[in-house]
Amino acid sequence: VSAGRAEYRYRDARTADGARIKMNLNISDIAELDGLDPAICDGIGLVRTELLFRDQAALLDENTQFEAYRRLAVWAEGRPVTIRTLDAGGDKPIPGVTIDGESNPFLGLRGIRLSLRHPDLFRTQLRALARAAVHGNVRIMLPMVTIPAELEAARAMLNEAVDSLAAEGIAARRPALGIMVEVPAAAIAIDEFNAGFFSIGSNDLIQYVTAAGRDIAAVAELANPRNPAVLRLIAAIVRHGAEAGREVSLCGDAGADPALVTTLLRTGLRSLSVAPSALERTKEAVAATDLRLTLP
């Protein structure tokens, strides 16, 4: 990191023409919070809980999850903390939970599909999240949502979890409920989804739109964030968010690529979520962007 770049650490992200861009962090490990000052960001845009709890025992244990989520909520000092429910499957197997030997794991039982098939596991996570929401601005985000019924099923389970915690006399709050937009069916029919907020998962959205696997080097050139089909979808999601009054962010790797930041902001996006190690370079790329210019 150059000295110049480090100057961006504590600055709000702003384009050269003054547009304020929200900069959130992607977190995969609680240890990442050590020595990290929340004042450098607008909040946490993505917590990958399937990486937080690699071992299944922790997943089964409501209190272990609650402690981890509370730690995140308290760290953020009131800033939004967007915690994604388990996104196991695909490239992230969990022994005993995901299915071994799926012929195409990326098109199989992953993300919300898996959580809805394991209601006990999902309920435990929702309860832990609702309890942590007492300690900060916790928001719940569902991965791999394909149809509105998945969002509604999750909402019903969240409501049930909050109600039963209240009946048990356990402190809890109902967090906002949003979805990842990473399946083309959801991106194209975004207005069908009554979500509290949207976060674009560009890693998966790109692979599904271009039919080029994110882990297949031989087709990496096709999995191109600049593909107009991908950019038009992102622009349409942003437009819908503005019309519906719902926040739209992007938490895939594309947002942390300085060469892509201007292109993404030109779709209308005003919120990004990146790994802590990418924060300064992304803020620098935002500052170098002038949205008044019409050149690419």
Instruction: Please give the positions annotated as active site.
Output: 251
**Under rule CB under 6 A, residue 237 binds ligand PEP:** no
CB atoms within 10 A of CB 99: 13
**For ligand PEP, which residue of 202, 249, 262, 282 counts as binding (CB under 6 A)?**
202
- The b/e string for 82-96 (b: 16+ C-beta within 10 A; e otherwise) is bbbbbbbbbebbbee
Out of 87, 150, 247, 257, which residue is the one contacting ligand PEP (CB under 6 A)? Answer: 87
Contact 196, 140 (CB under 8 A): no
Q: Hey, which residues does 189 pair with through a beta bridge?
A: none
CB atoms within 10 A of CB 261: 27
Q: Which stretch binds ligand PEP (CB under 6 A): 74-82, 120-128, 195-203, 274-282?
A: 195-203
Which residues are bridge partners to 250 per DSSP?
200, 272
Does 45 engage in binding with Mg ion (CB under 5 A)?
no
What sign does the CA torsion over 14, 275, 207, 201 have?
Answer: negative
52 or 73: whose CB is closer to ligand PEP?
Answer: 52
The single residue among 203, 224, 227, 263 that binds ligand PEP, judged by CB under 6 A, is 203
Interaction of residue 252 with ligand PEP, rule CB under 6 A: yes
182 labelled as ligand-binding? yes
Stretch that binds ligand PEP, among 187-195, 200-208, 225-233, 285-293 (CB under 6 A): 200-208
Output the smallest distance, CB 71 to Mg ion, in A: 24
| Complete DSSP assignment for 177-192 | EEEEE-SHHHHHTGGG
Q: Which of 15, 22, 48, 289 binds ligand PEP (CB under 6 A)?
A: 48
Q: In whole angstroms, give the CA distance from residue 235 to residue 226.
A: 12
**Strands 13-14 vs 20-27: parallel, antiparallel or unpaired:** antiparallel
List the x/- string, 184-223, binding to Mg ion by CB under 5 A: -----------------x--x-------------------
Residue with tokens 């006399």: 169
182 scored as a contact of Mg ion (CB under 5 A): yes
Q: Which residues are annotated as a binding site for phosphoenolpyruvate?
A: 48, 84, 203-204, 214
Q: What residues line the site for Mg ion (CB under 5 A)? A: 182, 201, 204
